[in-house]
Structure 1
Amino acid sequence: MGYLELHDIHKSYYLGSEEFKVLKGIDLSFELGEFVSILGESGGGKSTLMNIIGGLDRNFTGSVTVNGETLNHRDTQSLDRYRRETVGYIYQSYNLISHLTIYENVLISLEMTTMDRQAKHDRAMQLLADVGLTEQVHKYPNQLSGGQKQRVAIARALASDPKVIIADEPTGALDEQNTEEVLQILNKIAADGRLVIAVTHSQAVADSGTRIVHLVDGHLTDEVQVRPKANVAQPEQLTGFRKLPAMVAYKTAFKHLKHTMNWNALIIAGTAIGLFAVMLFLGLGNGLKGYINEQVNKMVNPQIVTVTRKTAGQTTKNSRASAAANQQGGGAAMGGGAAAQAQAAQSATGTTTTATLTDAQIAKLKKQAHVQSVEKNYNTSDVTYKYGNKKLGTAKLTTWTSNNHTSTIKVGTQPGKNQIVVDKKTLAKTYSSKNWRKLLGKKITVKFTTKNKNGKQVTVNKTLTVAGITDATTGSVTAISNATEQSWIKQYHLKSQPDTVIVKATNRNYTKSLTTKIGKLKVNGKKVFSATSASSMIATVNQYVNLATVILAAIAAISLVVSALMIIVTMFMSVSSRTKEIGVLRALGESKTDIRRLFTSESLMIGLASAIIGTGVAYAVAYGLNQVLYAIASYNLIQIEPQNIILTFGLALVISLFAAWLPARKAARLNPIDALAAE
């Protein structure tokens, strides 16, 4: 019983419905230690028989038995394992992988063994030394002569220590000297206890072996025993085997990417530009939102809800307008409030009464969940300010509360008892347009006329120390502390009910919900409060900015569709140009999954490189633009955040993975025989 046996092998090709029989009942047995030459003319079925023996051809009838076990030619994985563990190929056209060095061409077979890294290196170097190529290990195939290439092919075929070596016209492209050297190597392989099967039409090559099998028109005509086979025991293989590790496929893909960087650089650049644009627009959106939020927060505390009371006959819509006037047209933050609120109410309802909030209503507000504090805010219009005999002007006076930002104080501090902060534009510059800061610490007279709680007219005339000078972005801020306000109420018997209260939420995240809740509160079955906050305004503005950002990013992302098409075309071109390489890798024992991974990983590397370059360019451009824009807005208007980077890299990988799917699928489904025959 032979080591490798063929039993009743029949093979036909079909052209339409017409059958062409190639092999017509082949029965053949091979022993280890033999150098068997299958001799015949072109078209006689030699290559077809070789493909069946090598586990490449699956569509035939009959059976192939190896070491007593019948090969299952219907099981792709079994054939992959058979080629990986048992068979080594030597081709007439060498079939070396052009983007790998001589050393790497030999190493690729060893990557599917369980040898450690050093052992693989040592074996590859030893094999190259055995075929006389020690000095050529770092060269590429196109730097070698034909004889040297064939020696590399032999070294690669021997790398995994297979028991069967199949040589397809191994000397067909060599001169006489190289032919003799290659035949000597093949005889030595057989003498070492391996089975060498050479397919040839050369009688001289056939005569150098141990046995000649004549194949004519699909039939075995005769066999000639040239000399006895090597009398050796069946050798043990040097190592175990495994499927190709994913990391090896990634490394091979990276080597090909470097080898073809000339055209890949254009695709990487095109994709990087699209990713850069998307990231830059997202960063611009982040910056604009941050800038708007900062500017609003400078004017209004985002934790603050400004609450006023609805006046009789005032609609919800008008109530909101009134509250907005209090917050934006004056309000506690701007130094106004009651007057602005009253004017808005008057224009909407015709009433001249300013509604105040009772102690019971204020107590109700304090009981609400997520309320940190409730501060009374008194607003007085037509207040006259004097420094000595010099009139500084007439301006609104309000109470300094949590809604006021200390950032508006340009010099000095917020007011304490019997102190005041005055507005720079309306009051301090009247004192001195150039030396307005010198008003700080001076005593000024505050005077206004109002009614006490009994309805009698009283004149408030107080001297206060200027504690600070404010310069708000919008409106004006002239304010006194609550302690000063309460002392006046007590001294002049003024009404203690404020026209506005400042409700501070425990956290800015509760401001919006608290605003809505207060607006819905009822006293005696009626809604009595009108509430407004900066959070609702910020949310609206942010919504518009987000919409604009998404639209701009989407426009930029259109270029990524073009990039995806470029990657698809490149991958299809790569499959076409590497068809023979695919056939070689399959012949070496790589699976369909390995081939898919090879092309998919290369595409992902293109996407990853594009994302890295796009991110780098985006940061560089953002830095340059921020240097210019900061001089204008005192703010970095382009802010690239981690989630933007993650999104960009995600887009790059998804696009490249999508682009690689069809080409990689096509590559994996290629018939190894057809791939090897490709030019």
Structure 2
Amino acid sequence: MAFLELNDIHKSYFLGKEEFPVLNGIDLQLDRGEFVSILGESGGGKSTLMNIIGGLDRKFTGQVKVDGRQLDHTKEKQLDNYRRGTIGYIYQSYNLISHLNIVENVLVSLDMTTLKGSQRKERAIALLKKVGLGDHLKKRPSQLSGGQKQRVAIARALASDPEIIIADEPTGALDSRNTAEVLKLLDQIAAEGKLVITVTHSQEVANYGTRIVHLTDGQIDGDTRLKPAYPVPQEDQSEFRARPLSAGASYKNAFKHLTFTFWRNSLIMLGTAIGLFAVLLFSGLGNGVNAFIENQINSMVNPNSVTVFKNPTGKKMSSTELQQSMQQFANDPSKLLLTDDQIDHLRDLKHVNKVEPGYQLSTYTVSYNKKNSSGSGIQTWTKAFSDNTIKTGHKPGDNEIVINKNQAIALTSAKNYKKLQGKTVQLTMQWINKKNQPIQITGKLKVVGFSDNAQALAAATNYHTMRQLIEKKNGVTKANYVSVNVTNSIYVKQVAKKIQNLKDNNKYTYGAITVGDILDTINQYVQIAAIVLSAIAGISLVVSALMIIVTMYMSVAERTKEIGILRALGERKKDIRRLFTAESILIGLFSAALALLLAYGFSSLLNHILYKIVKFNIVQISAANIISTVIIALVISFIAALLPARRASRLNPIDALSAD
């Protein structure tokens, strides 16, 4: 039984509906140890027959058997395995991959074997030395002569230890000396027990082999034995076998091509990096602004404090709804007053160590030396305020007041405002009496400190002082808010939620606001702004994605022949897709790395400049921002490569090999 059998092979090409027969019933038996020349004129069907034998052409009728097993040309996976493990190709035009050196060209085939990395390289070098190229291992194909290129092709064909070597016009582009050397190598391969099939139109080349099969008009019209086939060596188990290409090898090959075309792709990487940098910077800026606001608020407000108000509606409300409701009832403060029982109820809550009733009045006026300064929001001092709230002086005691720095300047001057400390000022406020009628509260208080931030604290007295001033005018002495101090910050939200859920007569009694609620609201606005800015920056990423798509399509067009070579060597469609998506993903990774460098460099510069103003690092890039940026880069680059990669994998290997 012959090793390779072809039975009744028919093949036609069609132009429209018109049929052009190429092979007309080919029957052929070939065995190992033979050096068979398929001889014939151009157009006689020689290359078509080789494509069928090599598992590249699938559209024909008839049977191909290899070692007694029929090869099913309708099953692509079986053909990939067949080309990978059984066939070795040698081409007239060499078909070497230009961006790889000659060792790497041979390794392309060896990457699809079970050999380890070091073993693959050792075998590649050994094969190149065998064909006389031991002194040229670091050279690329462009640095070799025609004869040397063909020797590289022979070494690559032998790399996976195939049983069939197909040489398509292997000497067509060589001079007589190189022709003789190549034919000698092919003869040696046949003598080692391989089946060598050479396609040629040269009688002189054909005479070198052991057998000539003459092909005319798609039919065998001659089969001449020149000399006996070489004896096939006794079967021995090969030290390795063929296997599908690994993902790691695909990425390694993609990296080689990317480094070869690095400068051409550098503009794409830079454009993508700028978009990623902008997204990263705005995200870091959002983090920094949030952290700055939190730092400022926590420096003036005790984070363990819960501010409690009377719920005027009896309905459960969020902190935002509570603030809106309080504004709604501002003209009727009686709706917001808390009874002593309601205040005492709060003292019984778990994790609470201090409950301080207090007053918050919307407007007030401070007078000194016939000068008046009005403010918005005077209240009693509680543990809700941090000691840092007062920049100069101390917290108020009985008959004492802390006012805002700007008010002190208005009453004196920017240069002498601190001299107001220790002086007595006239305080005027608006409140209500027991009949819910507006009254004016006045009193003389000593200034003992100044605050810097009017929004955090405009003015403050202590509870005892405020109550005495109200009692003197027969005002309502019920508190209109309570400061609840929690033992530990981890319980603040828990306590606030508990307070909000307390009921009296099936109505919710209290509303609660924490520092976290304030920060959440502010952070939400900051995050929205950061997202909007990032989205604007993200437009450049869309442009970058389009650039990657165009680049990948250009790469497919430029590497069409390479795709054909890889498919002929046994790479699957999956491997071709992965080759291009891997290169695009690597572009994304390089872009992300460049974006990180730009972001850290620019944020360091920005923080250095702004720190002199705000004493805070205003750009804070987190690990989550970095991970998100890398993921964005990978997703964009992967999606951008999908269509070009799909197009590359669907190329017909025969058409790809014939591309210029």
Q: Does 1:147 align with 2:151?
A: no
Residue pair 1:6, 1:29 contacting (<8 A) in 2 also: yes
Out of 577, 583, 593, the position equivalent to 2:564 is: 583
Residue pair 2:312, 2:325 contacting (<8 A) in 1 also: no
Out of 595, 613, 617, the position equivalent to 2:594 is: 613
What is aligned with 1:253? 254
Residue pair 1:94, 1:149 contacting (<8 A) in 2 also: yes
Residue pair 2:7, 2:64 contacting (<8 A) in 1 also: yes
Q: Aligned partners of 2:322, 2:250: CA distance in 1, in Å?
A: 69
Q: 1:481 to 1:135 in 2, by over 3 A?
A: farther
What is aligned with 1:670? 651
AA matched with 1:135: D
AA matched with 2:115: M
AA matched with 1:18: E
Q: Aligned partners of 2:262, 2:18: CA distance in 1, in Å?
A: 47
TM superposition shift of 1:383 = 11
- CA-based RMSD of the aligned residues comes to 4.3
What is aligned with 1:100? 100
Kindly report which structure 2 residues correspond to 1:96-245, keeping only aligned pairs within 5 A, or say none: 96-236=96-236, 237-245=238-246
Q: 1:429 to 1:407 in 2, by over 3 A?
A: farther
Q: Aligned partners of 2:32, 2:497: CA distance in 1, in Å?
A: 90
Q: Secondary structure at the match of 2:634?
A: helix
Deviation track 1:447-479 (CA, whole Å, cap 9, x = no partner) reads 9999xx99xxx99999x996x765445454454
Q: Secondary structure at the match of 1:162?
A: coil
Q: Aligned partners of 2:312, 2:61: CA distance in 1, in Å?
A: 98
AA matched with 1:51: N
TM superposition shift of 1:535 = 4.8
Higher mean displacement: 285-294 or 185-194: 285-294
Q: Aligned partners of 2:638, 2:516: CA distance in 1, in Å?
A: 42
Q: Aligned partners of 1:531, 1:28: CA distance in 2, in Å?
A: 93
What is aligned with 1:3? 3
Q: 1:76 to 1:360 in 2, by over 3 A?
A: same
Q: Aligned partners of 2:508, 2:557: CA distance in 1, in Å?
A: 76
Q: 1:35 to 1:502 in 2, by over 3 A?
A: same
AA matched with 2:202: S
What is aligned with 2:270? 269
Q: 1:308 to 1:78 in 2, by over 3 A?
A: closer
Q: Does 1:641 align with 2:622?
A: yes
TM superposition shift of 1:126 = 0.9
TM superposition shift of 1:518 = 5.8
Residue pair 1:371, 1:505 contacting (<8 A) in 2 also: yes
Residue pair 2:366, 2:428 contacting (<8 A) in 1 also: no
Kindly report which structure 2 residues correspond to 1:94-493, keeping only aligned pairs within 5 A, or say none: 94-236=94-236, 237-308=238-309, 345=330, 348-349=331-332, 357-367=338-348, 373-377=354-358, 399-410=380-391, 422-423=402-403, 425=405, 470-474=451-455, 475-480=457-462
Residue pair 2:164, 2:195 contacting (<8 A) in 1 also: yes
Q: 1:258 to 1:419 in 2, by over 3 A?
A: farther
Q: 1:169 to 1:397 in 2, by over 3 A?
A: closer
Deviation track 1:323-354 (CA, whole Å, cap 9, x = no partner) reads 579xxxxxxxxxxxxxxxxxx95xx25x8x89
Q: Aligned partners of 2:378, 2:36: CA distance in 1, in Å?
A: 111
Q: 1:548 to 1:263 in 2, by over 3 A?
A: same
Residue pair 2:404, 2:454 contacting (<8 A) in 1 also: no
Q: Aligned partners of 1:311, 1:664: CA distance in 2, in Å?
A: 65
Q: Secondary structure at the match of 2:51?
A: helix
Q: Does 1:592 align with 2:582?
A: no
Q: Secondary structure at the match of 1:136?
A: coil
How many percent identity over aligned positions? 53
Q: Aligned partners of 1:600, 1:527: CA distance in 2, in Å?
A: 59
Higher mean displacement: 287-296 or 577-586: 287-296
What is aligned with 1:328? none
AA matched with 2:641: A
AA matched with 1:77: K
Residue pair 1:6, 1:64 contacting (<8 A) in 2 also: yes
Q: Aligned partners of 1:319, 1:579: CA distance in 2, in Å?
A: 68
Q: Aligned partners of 1:60, 1:251: CA distance in 2, in Å?
A: 37
Kindly report which structure 2 residues correspond to 1:2-41, keeping only aligned pairs within 5 A, or say none: 2-41=2-41
Q: Aligned partners of 1:355, 1:613: CA distance in 2, in Å?
A: 57
TM superposition shift of 1:573 = 0.8
Q: Aligned partners of 1:229, 1:366: CA distance in 2, in Å?
A: 106
Q: 1:40 to 1:525 in 2, by over 3 A?
A: closer
Q: Secondary structure at the match of 1:223?
A: strand
Residue pair 2:367, 2:411 contacting (<8 A) in 1 also: no
Residue pair 2:87, 2:165 contacting (<8 A) in 1 also: yes
AA matched with 2:248: M
Q: Secondary structure at the match of 1:38?
A: strand
What is aligned with 2:44? 44
TM superposition shift of 1:630 = 2.3
TM superposition shift of 1:370 = 7.3
Q: Secondary structure at the match of 2:135?
A: helix
Higher mean displacement: 534-543 or 649-658: 534-543
Q: Aligned partners of 1:402, 1:295: CA distance in 2, in Å?
A: 17
Q: 1:42 to 1:528 in 2, by over 3 A?
A: closer
Deviation track 1:585-619 (CA, whole Å, cap 9, x = no partner) reads 11111111111110110011111111111122122
Higher mean displacement: 403-412 or 297-306: 297-306
Q: 1:419 to 1:202 in 2, by over 3 A?
A: farther
Q: Normalised by the size of structure 2, how large is the TM-score?
A: 0.85
Unpaired stretches in structure 1, ≥5 consecutive residues: 326-343
TM superposition shift of 1:75 = 1.1
Q: 1:105 to 1:519 in 2, by over 3 A?
A: closer
TM superposition shift of 1:620 = 1.4
Unpaired stretches in structure 2, ≥5 consecutive residues: 435-440
Question: Aligned pair count?
Answer: 643
Deviation track 1:302-325 (CA, whole Å, cap 9, x = no partner) reads 55443455899xxx9999579579
Q: Secondary structure at the match of 2:639?
A: helix
Q: Aligned partners of 1:384, 1:226: CA distance in 2, in Å?
A: 121
AA matched with 2:584: S
Residue pair 1:5, 1:65 contacting (<8 A) in 2 also: yes
TM superposition shift of 1:227 = 1.2
Q: Normalised by the size of structure 1, how large is the TM-score?
A: 0.82
Higher mean displacement: 181-190 or 604-613: 604-613
Residue pair 1:323, 1:532 contacting (<8 A) in 2 also: no
Q: Aligned partners of 1:278, 1:367: CA distance in 2, in Å?
A: 49
Q: Aligned partners of 1:459, 1:593: CA distance in 2, in Å?
A: 85
TM superposition shift of 1:531 = 5.7
AA matched with 2:556: V
What is aligned with 2:641? 660
Q: 1:267 to 1:445 in 2, by over 3 A?
A: closer
Residue pair 1:519, 1:529 contacting (<8 A) in 2 also: yes
Deviation track 1:373-405 (CA, whole Å, cap 9, x = no partner) reads 42123679999999xxx9999999964312111
